[in-house]
Amino acid sequence: GFLAGTLLGVAQFFAVPVLGFFTPLKAVQEAARVPAMIAAAQQGMNGVAFVAEGMMQGHQAFGKLAVNTILASLALMVAMEEG
C-alpha cells in the first residue's frame, strides 16, 4: 500500500504543471497548485490506510470501521471550523 501510494503521489506531484489543461484561468491554477502538492505528499499514507481498511472489511470489523469513520468526520468538522 505504501509503495503504490508513494508512486501515485510522485506521479501526482509531477502532474501539477498540467493544471492548465483543466482551466485556462491563471488564478485558479495558482490556487490549486499547493493543495495538489499537499495531496500528492499524503498519497503514501493513503495507500496504507486503504489496505488497512480492506483488511478490516475482510475481518468483518465493521463496528470499528464505523467508529473510525465517525472520529475522522468529527476531526474534519473541527478542523473546518478552526479554518
pLDDT at 83: 65
The pTM for the full model equals: 0.70
Residue 69: what pLDDT?
92
Residues 26-83 pLDDT 10s: 999 999 999 999 999 999 999 999 999 999 999 999 999 999 999 999 999 999 998 6
CA–CA gap between residue 6 and residue 82 (Å, rounded): 29
